[in-house]
Amino acid sequence: MKDQVIVITGASSGIGAALAELVGGKGARPVLLARREKELGEVASRSGPEALPLVVDVTRREEVTRAVETALARFARIDVWVNNAGQGITRLVSELTDDDFDDMMRVNVKSALYAMQAVLPHFRERGRGHVINVSSMLGRVPIAPVRSAYSAAKHALNALTANLRMELREQHPGIVISSVHPGVVATDFGRKARYGGPDSRQFPGAQPVEEVAGVIAELIESPRADVYTRPGARQLVVDYYAAEDMGQREQEPPFAAPRRP
């Protein structure tokens, strides 16, 4: 990982900040993207001497494109791009508005699409590169109905990730496209969800953010297509889709009926 240029979106807190500090400590050159300048600068100060903080709104295509250009101007290459920026929602399907759904798609899907399309020409020119899309267990299984549109957005992100991997497979085998699927992580994700919600850090068994960052760092060093951050998560997904009656499976733990937090 030493000297690799690793771009991380959503880097001002949570998983992104922990990953920035981890890879910076391993000698990488992290490029940190987020909207909050003060917090971003603080993370950069803890992420190694070559950390480059860039104030960027990743929901704006032109700003993502400029971030690629700035990173290349500084380091002459990009090795890894981690699409980590995202936001949740606390609303049932029956309550969703157009704005709710559009916002979830813009923050969780279109931001990653903009980044993939912006960095891809550079990766094709080099013949190698690695995109890591941070998805969610909710992009695989409907464990939390109040996260409805967030779950839908992460399902869409998973589809784009797999389709891009298949698109590049024959002509650009050196470009790796990966998904990472955390469960509940001990961050302020819940409080910052659209319409608010419980603090994810208070959930029993919430995974420490450092563990999730460690899984992503290991994925950078040993690339593969699809990674879960907790033991048993992959089997939960397999069992759900293999069930003869998925509706029956949804009545069993860890699935739950729609309810407010």
User: Is residue 58 within 8 Å of 85, Cβ to Cβ?
Assistant: yes
Q: What is the mean pLDDT of residues 18-24?
A: 98
**Are 16 and 230 spatial neighbours (Cβ–Cβ below 8 Å)?**
no
Given the residues 150, 228, 240, 241, select the one marked as catalytic.
Answer: 150
pLDDT at 259 over 80: no
- As a whole number, mean pLDDT of residues 91-109 equals 98
Distance CA 192, CA 62 (A): 25
**In this model, does residue 257 exceed pLDDT 90?**
no
Q: What is the mean pLDDT of residues 215-238?
A: 97
Mean pLDDT of 20-41: 97
* Average pLDDT for 22-34: 98
The amino acid occupying position 83 is N
Residue ranges and CATH numbers for the domains of the chain are 5-234 (3.40.50.720)
Segment 169-173 long-range contacts (CB within 8 Å, at least 24 positions apart): 172/123, 172/124, 172/127
Chain-centre distance of CA 167, in angstroms?
Answer: 21
pLDDT number for residue 200: 86
Q: Measure the CA–CA gap between 26 and 4, rounded to whole angstroms.
A: 10
**Amino acid letter at 162?**
A
Determine what percent of the chain is predicted with pLDDT higher than 70: 98
Q: Mean per-residue pLDDT for 45-49? A: 96
Say yes or no to pLDDT of 260 above 50.
Answer: no
* Average pLDDT value for residue range 31-52: 96
Long-range contacts of 121-128 (CB under 8 A, 24+ apart): 122/68, 122/72, 122/77, 122/78, 123/78, 123/172, 123/175, 124/172, 124/175, 126/77, 126/174, 127/172, 127/174, 127/175, 128/174, 128/175
> Backbone dihedral region of 102: left (phi > 0), alpha (psi from -120 to 50 degrees) or beta?
alpha
pLDDT surpasses 50 at 261:
no
Residue 8: its H or E element:
strand 5-9
Instruction: Confirm whether 228 is a catalytic residue.
Output: no
Question: Which two tokens mark 106?
Answer: 């813009």
pLDDT band at 220 (very low <50, low <70, confident <90, very high): very high
Residue 52 C-alpha from the chain's centroid = 20
Q: Which strand (E) or helix (H) includes residue 54?
A: strand 52-55
The proportion of the chain whose per-residue pLDDT surpasses 90, expressed as a percent, equals: 91
Partnered with residue 180 across adjacent β-strands are: 134, 227
CB atoms within 10 A of CB 163: 11
